[in-house]
Protein backbone atom coordinates (compact mmCIF):
# COMPACT_ATOMS: atom_id res chain seq x y z
CA UNK A 1 0.00 0.00 0.00
CA UNK A 2 1.41 3.37 -1.07
CA UNK A 3 0.26 6.35 0.99
CA UNK A 4 0.32 9.34 -1.35
CA UNK A 5 0.71 13.08 -1.08
CA UNK A 6 -0.01 14.50 -4.54
CA UNK A 7 1.55 17.87 -5.28
CA UNK A 8 -0.39 19.40 -8.17
CA UNK A 9 -3.41 17.11 -8.02
CA UNK A 10 -5.56 19.31 -10.30
CA UNK A 11 -3.13 19.12 -13.25
CA UNK A 12 -2.99 16.39 -15.88
CA UNK A 13 -0.45 14.19 -14.05
CA UNK A 14 -2.24 14.68 -10.73
CA UNK A 15 -5.56 13.66 -12.25
CA UNK A 16 -4.00 10.57 -13.84
CA UNK A 17 -2.47 9.62 -10.48
CA UNK A 18 -5.89 9.83 -8.87
CA UNK A 19 -7.32 7.71 -11.67
CA UNK A 20 -4.79 5.01 -10.83
CA UNK A 21 -5.63 5.32 -7.11
CA UNK A 22 -9.33 5.06 -7.95
CA UNK A 23 -8.81 1.84 -9.89
CA UNK A 24 -6.46 0.27 -7.33
CA UNK A 25 -7.74 1.25 -3.87
CA UNK A 26 -5.97 -1.70 -2.25
CA UNK A 27 -2.61 -0.42 -3.56
CA UNK A 28 -2.93 3.34 -3.00
CA UNK A 29 -4.44 5.62 -0.41
CA UNK A 30 -4.60 9.41 -0.86
CA UNK A 31 -3.47 11.23 2.27
CA UNK A 32 -2.92 14.76 0.92
CA UNK A 33 -3.62 16.88 -2.17
CA UNK A 34 -2.49 20.30 -3.37
CA UNK A 35 -3.19 22.87 -6.07
CA UNK A 36 -2.31 26.43 -7.00
CA UNK A 37 -5.77 28.00 -7.16
CA UNK A 38 -8.19 25.55 -8.86
CA UNK A 39 -10.27 24.87 -5.76
CA UNK A 40 -13.30 23.70 -7.76
CA UNK A 41 -11.40 20.67 -9.07
CA UNK A 42 -9.67 20.20 -5.73
CA UNK A 43 -12.99 20.25 -3.87
CA UNK A 44 -14.33 17.42 -6.06
CA UNK A 45 -11.15 15.42 -5.44
CA UNK A 46 -11.39 15.96 -1.70
CA UNK A 47 -15.05 14.96 -1.71
CA UNK A 48 -14.16 11.66 -3.40
CA UNK A 49 -10.87 10.71 -1.72
CA UNK A 50 -11.25 12.42 1.69
CA UNK A 51 -7.57 13.20 2.32
CA UNK A 52 -6.57 14.27 5.80
CA UNK A 53 -5.06 17.53 4.59
CA UNK A 54 -4.77 19.67 1.48
CA UNK A 55 -2.78 22.73 0.43
CA UNK A 56 -3.70 25.67 -1.81
CA UNK A 57 -0.95 28.09 -2.79
CA UNK A 58 -3.31 31.06 -3.21
CA UNK A 59 -4.28 32.15 0.31
CA UNK A 60 -7.60 33.74 -0.70
CA UNK A 61 -8.69 30.60 -2.54
CA UNK A 62 -7.53 28.48 0.40
CA UNK A 63 -9.89 30.39 2.71
CA UNK A 64 -12.73 29.93 0.21
CA UNK A 65 -12.10 26.19 0.09
CA UNK A 66 -11.97 25.98 3.86
CA UNK A 67 -15.44 27.51 4.11
CA UNK A 68 -16.84 25.24 1.40
CA UNK A 69 -15.52 22.14 3.12
CA UNK A 70 -16.83 23.30 6.48
CA UNK A 71 -20.30 23.88 5.00
CA UNK A 72 -20.23 20.36 3.55
CA UNK A 73 -19.14 18.73 6.80
CA UNK A 74 -15.81 17.60 5.35
CA UNK A 75 -13.02 17.77 7.91
CA UNK A 76 -9.99 17.89 5.56
CA UNK A 77 -7.50 20.41 6.94
CA UNK A 78 -6.66 23.27 4.54
CA UNK A 79 -3.15 24.73 4.42
CA UNK A 80 -1.85 27.47 2.14
CA UNK A 81 1.25 28.85 0.47
CA UNK A 82 4.50 27.09 -0.28
CA UNK A 83 4.71 26.23 3.42
CA UNK A 84 1.55 24.18 2.99
CA UNK A 85 3.13 22.20 0.15
CA UNK A 86 6.21 21.52 2.28
CA UNK A 87 4.01 20.37 5.16
CA UNK A 88 2.07 17.86 3.05
CA UNK A 89 5.37 16.56 1.63
CA UNK A 90 6.66 15.66 5.07
CA UNK A 91 3.60 14.17 6.79
CA UNK A 92 4.21 11.14 8.99
CA UNK A 93 1.18 9.47 7.40
CA UNK A 94 2.67 9.35 3.87
CA UNK A 95 5.45 7.33 2.28
CA UNK A 96 5.37 8.70 -1.29
CA UNK A 97 5.30 12.25 -2.66
CA UNK A 98 4.00 12.66 -6.21
CA UNK A 99 5.81 15.70 -7.62
CA UNK A 100 3.46 17.04 -10.29
CA UNK A 101 3.60 20.79 -9.64
CA UNK A 102 4.46 22.76 -12.78
CA UNK A 103 7.74 24.65 -12.84
CA UNK A 104 10.44 25.55 -10.34
CA UNK A 105 7.88 25.67 -7.50
CA UNK A 106 7.95 21.86 -7.45
CA UNK A 107 11.57 21.67 -6.30
CA UNK A 108 11.33 22.79 -2.68
CA UNK A 109 8.55 20.47 -1.46
CA UNK A 110 10.21 17.49 -3.18
CA UNK A 111 13.51 18.38 -1.50
CA UNK A 112 11.85 18.45 1.92
CA UNK A 113 10.03 15.20 1.17
CA UNK A 114 13.37 13.50 0.50
CA UNK A 115 14.81 14.94 3.72
CA UNK A 116 11.86 13.37 5.53
CA UNK A 117 12.57 9.95 4.01
CA UNK A 118 9.75 9.86 1.46
CA UNK A 119 9.93 8.09 -1.88
CA UNK A 120 9.45 10.48 -4.81
CA UNK A 121 7.28 9.77 -7.85
CA UNK A 122 8.51 12.56 -10.11
CA UNK A 123 6.82 14.23 -13.06
CA UNK A 124 8.15 17.75 -12.46
CA UNK A 125 11.07 18.36 -14.85
CA UNK A 126 12.42 21.45 -13.13
CA UNK A 127 13.21 19.53 -9.94
CA UNK A 128 16.11 17.82 -11.70
CA UNK A 129 16.84 20.47 -14.32
CA UNK A 130 17.40 23.10 -11.63
CA UNK A 131 18.40 20.90 -8.70
CA UNK A 132 19.65 17.57 -10.01
CA UNK A 133 23.12 18.01 -8.50
CA UNK A 134 21.47 18.40 -5.09
CA UNK A 135 18.48 16.07 -5.41
CA UNK A 136 20.16 12.90 -6.72
CA UNK A 137 22.95 12.79 -4.10
CA UNK A 138 20.31 13.41 -1.42
CA UNK A 139 18.22 10.52 -2.79
CA UNK A 140 21.20 8.22 -2.37
CA UNK A 141 22.08 9.60 1.05
CA UNK A 142 18.55 9.09 2.41
CA UNK A 143 18.10 5.70 0.74
CA UNK A 144 14.74 6.61 -0.78
CA UNK A 145 13.42 5.82 -4.26
CA UNK A 146 13.17 8.21 -7.19
CA UNK A 147 10.40 6.84 -9.41
CA UNK A 148 10.08 8.64 -12.77
CA UNK A 149 6.43 8.84 -13.81
CA UNK A 150 6.84 11.21 -16.76
CA UNK A 151 6.24 9.05 -19.84
CA UNK A 152 9.69 9.30 -21.42
CA UNK A 153 11.66 8.65 -18.27
CA UNK A 154 9.33 5.92 -17.09
CA UNK A 155 9.95 4.16 -20.41
CA UNK A 156 13.71 4.43 -19.94
CA UNK A 157 13.41 3.14 -16.37
CA UNK A 158 11.39 0.13 -17.60
CA UNK A 159 13.96 -0.65 -20.29
CA UNK A 160 16.85 -0.51 -17.82
CA UNK A 161 15.27 -2.97 -15.37
CA UNK A 162 17.35 -6.13 -15.36
CA UNK A 163 20.12 -4.60 -17.46
CA UNK A 164 23.63 -3.80 -16.26
CA UNK A 165 24.21 -0.06 -16.28
CA UNK A 166 27.71 -0.69 -17.66
CA UNK A 167 26.11 -2.20 -20.77
CA UNK A 168 24.14 0.99 -21.59
CA UNK A 169 25.40 2.74 -24.73
CA UNK A 170 22.78 5.41 -25.49
CA UNK A 171 19.36 6.65 -24.40
CA UNK A 172 16.91 7.49 -27.20
CA UNK A 173 14.16 9.93 -26.19
CA UNK A 174 11.31 10.25 -28.68
CA UNK A 175 9.53 13.47 -29.62
CA UNK A 176 6.29 14.01 -31.50
CA UNK A 177 7.70 17.12 -33.15
CA UNK A 178 4.85 19.24 -31.79
CA UNK A 179 2.37 21.30 -33.83
CA UNK A 180 5.04 22.96 -35.99
CA UNK A 181 6.82 19.85 -37.24
CA UNK A 182 7.68 20.16 -40.93
CA UNK A 183 7.05 23.90 -41.13
CA UNK A 184 9.49 26.13 -42.98
CA UNK A 185 11.14 29.09 -41.26
CA UNK A 186 8.91 31.58 -43.08
CA UNK A 187 5.79 29.68 -41.96
CA UNK A 188 6.79 30.08 -38.31
CA UNK A 189 6.74 33.88 -38.57
CA UNK A 190 2.94 33.94 -38.43
CA UNK A 191 2.10 31.22 -35.90
CA UNK A 192 -0.08 32.21 -32.93
CA UNK A 193 -0.28 31.22 -29.28
CA UNK A 194 -3.39 29.20 -30.13
CA UNK A 195 -1.42 27.33 -32.79
CA UNK A 196 1.32 26.52 -30.28
CA UNK A 197 -1.23 25.24 -27.76
CA UNK A 198 -2.83 22.88 -30.29
CA UNK A 199 -0.69 19.77 -29.83
CA UNK A 200 -1.34 17.13 -32.52
CA UNK A 201 -1.21 14.17 -30.14
CA UNK A 202 -1.53 15.03 -26.45
CA UNK A 203 -3.84 17.10 -24.26
CA UNK A 204 -1.45 18.60 -21.71
CA UNK A 205 -1.05 21.65 -19.51
CA UNK A 206 -0.12 25.01 -21.01
CA UNK A 207 3.57 25.09 -20.11
CA UNK A 208 4.45 21.60 -21.32
CA UNK A 209 2.43 22.18 -24.52
CA UNK A 210 4.38 25.36 -25.31
CA UNK A 211 7.65 23.59 -24.43
CA UNK A 212 6.65 20.84 -26.85
CA UNK A 213 5.93 23.36 -29.62
CA UNK A 214 9.43 24.83 -29.25
CA UNK A 215 11.03 21.41 -28.55
CA UNK A 216 12.43 22.94 -25.35
CA UNK A 217 10.86 20.04 -23.43
CA UNK A 218 13.34 17.64 -25.04
CA UNK A 219 16.26 19.73 -23.85
CA UNK A 220 14.84 19.54 -20.33
CA UNK A 221 14.34 15.78 -20.66
CA UNK A 222 17.98 15.29 -21.71
CA UNK A 223 19.08 17.04 -18.51
CA UNK A 224 16.64 14.93 -16.48
CA UNK A 225 17.88 11.69 -18.01
CA UNK A 226 21.48 12.71 -17.32
CA UNK A 227 20.72 13.09 -13.62
CA UNK A 228 18.34 10.13 -13.28
CA UNK A 229 20.51 7.56 -15.04
CA UNK A 230 24.03 8.93 -14.60
CA UNK A 231 24.75 9.10 -18.31
CA UNK A 232 26.53 11.90 -20.20
CA UNK A 233 24.28 14.24 -22.18
CA UNK A 234 26.37 13.42 -25.27
CA UNK A 235 25.00 9.86 -25.06
CA UNK A 236 21.33 10.93 -25.08
CA UNK A 237 19.63 11.35 -28.47
CA UNK A 238 16.24 12.80 -29.42
CA UNK A 239 14.35 10.94 -32.16
CA UNK A 240 11.32 12.55 -33.82
CA UNK A 241 8.51 9.97 -33.80
CA UNK A 242 5.20 11.64 -34.78
CA UNK A 243 3.13 8.52 -34.12
CA UNK A 244 3.99 8.82 -30.39
CA UNK A 245 3.72 5.06 -29.84
CA UNK A 246 7.17 4.62 -28.30
CA UNK A 247 8.07 7.09 -25.55
CA UNK A 248 11.77 6.26 -25.22
CA UNK A 249 14.30 3.49 -25.93
CA UNK A 250 17.77 2.43 -24.86
CA UNK A 251 20.62 1.01 -26.94
CA UNK A 252 23.06 -1.39 -25.36
CA UNK A 253 26.72 -1.75 -26.28
CA UNK A 254 26.00 -4.95 -28.19
CA UNK A 255 23.82 -2.90 -30.58
CA UNK A 256 20.43 -4.14 -29.37
CA UNK A 257 17.67 -1.56 -28.87
CA UNK A 258 15.15 -2.10 -26.08
CA UNK A 259 11.72 -0.53 -25.94
CA UNK A 260 9.11 -0.77 -23.16
CA UNK A 261 6.02 -2.91 -23.51
CA UNK A 262 3.46 -1.22 -25.78
CA UNK A 263 -0.32 -0.97 -25.64
CA UNK A 264 -1.60 0.05 -29.07
**Chain segment 124-181, per-residue pLDDT in tens:** 989 999 999 999 999 999 999 999 998 899 999 999 988 998 999 999 999 999 899 9
Residue spans of alpha helices (H) in 161-215: 185-188, 193-196, 206-214
* pLDDT tens by residue, 11-57: 989 999 999 999 999 999 999 999 999 999 999 999 999 999 999 99
Please check whether residue 238 is in contact with residue 222, taking contact to mean a CB–CB distance below 8 angstroms. yes
Q: Does the pLDDT at position 106 exceed 70?
A: yes
Contact present, 109 and 97 (Cβ < 8 Å): yes
- Looking at residue 104, its pLDDT comes to 87
- Note the pLDDT of residue 236: 97
Q: How far apart are the first and last CA of the chain?
A: 29
Asked if the model's pLDDT at residue 3 lies above 70, the reply is yes
What element of type H or E holds 59? helix 59-71
Q: What is the pLDDT of residue 95?
A: 97
Q: State residue 262's pLDDT score.
A: 57
**Mean pLDDT for the stretch of residues 188-211:** 88
Residue 263 reports pLDDT greater than 60: no
C-alpha span between 109 and 204 (Å, rounded): 23
Which residues have CB under 8 Å from 108's CB, separation 6+? 82, 85, 86
Kindly report the backbone phi and psi dihedral angles of residue 9, in degrees, each rounded to the nearest multiple of 5, phi listed first.
-75, -15
* Domains delineated in the chain: 2-148 (3.40.50.720), 153-258 (no CATH)
Amino acid sequence: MRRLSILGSTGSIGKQTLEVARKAPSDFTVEALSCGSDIDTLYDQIEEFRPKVCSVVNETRALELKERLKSSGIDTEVLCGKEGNITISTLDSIDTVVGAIVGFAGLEPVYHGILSGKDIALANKETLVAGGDIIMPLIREKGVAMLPIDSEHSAIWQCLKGEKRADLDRILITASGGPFRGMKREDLENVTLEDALHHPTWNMGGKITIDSATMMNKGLEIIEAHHLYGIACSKIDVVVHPQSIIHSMIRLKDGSVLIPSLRV
